[in-house]
Structure 1
Amino acid sequence: MKFRLLLFTACLSLSVFSQEAAMKKDTVSVEKVKRLDLNLDIVSRYLWRGQCWGGDYVAVQPTIEYAVTSKFSIGFWATTNFQTEYFYSDGVSLYKGYQEIDFYATYQINDFLQFQVWDYYWPSVSKVDGVNNSFFNYRNDGVKTVDALLYFDFSEGYKYPFNATISTLVAGNDFRYDSNGEHPKQNYTTYFELGYTFTLFEKSLAKGLRDIFLEPVVGAVLNNQAAYYNYADYDKVSLCNIGLTATKEIHLVKDLIMPLSLNYTHNGATTNTELFGKNFVVASLSFSY
């Protein structure tokens, strides 16, 4: 009986010790989790899904993201090209100044699927007559849009490192009209994108050749009757974003990474590409912490 009692006491002590050790380990892990991510992109021009915004001017794009939990994050993203004029002197509606402010939230459903909600805001279009650029105006005269998307990412730990995005505008100024330009209806414009990641020289003995990625992408807007994608076809599926990006990651110091990227994008739309053309080359320099 004494032996059984001694054995039970030893097991209980060992169990309590193991739990305490696990709790301490979890506490240390939680403390080491990086909750705040900072990123600054400097790009030769702002290109979004094959759409050129702000002309051929250098843009600066900061990102601030905070991990509320291990799966849920909130963030802020912005872009500006530091230009103030909205129209050229001849009156052609070709943007020079362009600013955008976005807020977003992400939820990691599992190891390859993430749900995101983005709130887009373009305050620079306030100089257009008939536009109300209030931050809380989601009507058809506003400059706000809400984008809900699913992001599939198999780039790590899977045999085929592809990614996919399904994006649908669920609120805000995304309206289509009848033949008389009346009776606005929410269009729910949907965009689909498929990409792949090639990791080059991953096992190279030369460190300078490692961390080089090649990423082809094909993106199309499926129902652009609201003309939300200005530089795409309005009456059919439009392959507006066909591109290839080469990226080299440079690790400067602990937790500070500087990716260098060169992107080529072809807008395959058959119409509405006259203002900026169909082909773009964009260079970018980033600082991530």
Structure 2
Amino acid sequence: MKILVTGAAGFIASHLCEKLVSMGHLVFGIDNFNDYYDVKLKEINASDLVNKGVTIFREDLNADLKSVFENQYDYIFHLAAQPGISAATPLHEYVDNNIYATQNLLDSVVKYNPDLKLFVNIATSSVYGKEATVNETAIPKPASYYGVTKLAAEQLVLSLKIEGKIKACSVRLYSVYGPRERPEKLYTKLIENLYYDKPFPLFEGSIYHERSFTYVGDIVEGLAAIIGKEELVDGEIINLGTDEVNTTQEGITAVEEIMNKKLIIDNQPPRKGDQLKTAAIIDKARNLLNYNPKVSLKQGLQEQVNWYFEKFIN
């Protein structure tokens, strides 16, 4: 199969590309290498992918994508997005990169790739709002620019499916962590600050937040399981995470134990848009995809610490 993965040089997408290559698929990636975080990290990921046979297009999804679609793809996994809930990121960047970019990609699919088997949109549990503890039938209540625009992108994809122009599904991910996690995300920043004895900014109340912290390897297993099931998942919204729930404090303690160090805390005011609790309801993923997350938080964090030391310390 020929498969296109958007945001390919990023955290989850780079792992997905590797997984798809290991399954024998011909994989193409597209990424604009923007500077939301250190581009050198994306270059490391991209180099690893190219060495494994992935073709990378350095292109923005808001551009003319005709050259990208000179190939006819069987599947598209759309992971590219403006991530995070930082107050420093203005609304228009979320709109441009999550809504307009998704629409331009969809327009290109309809125009250039009419025989696509399935469009897989990667969404987020943030669409549920402050507490993501429900199944896929719940009414979304996003509380951040990120959640609002990702929900809009999801609806653009599913509306095109309703019109009969594509087959598509949307997968809502829960608190993914692991090797290659973005530098501003909880665990990569935690590992770095622990190693260098730097104060770690902890937002008021967040130590008690509960999360379905899901290891990236489990996520990509679930995504890869979609291939060949387009008739089964067409039109579906699917939660993908773990039903193991941990507090932020439990995550911090686990990393402290792995690294045998004590974190210096820098208490910060509450962060607008932060989710208070997530608990992935994954019955649909189990039934449709035979999805079964296996990696515990402590196991996954050990892998992430190992990756950090390999890439940045050793």
Q: Would you call these one fold, judging by a TM-score over 0.5? A: no
- Provide the TM-score with structure 2 as the length reference: 0.30
Larger radius of gyration: 1
Could you tell me the TM-score, scaled by structure 1's length? 0.31
- Structure with greater helix share of residues: 2
Answer 1 or 2: higher relative contact order, Cα 8 Å, separation at least 6.
Answer: 2
Higher strand proportion (structure 1 or 2): 1
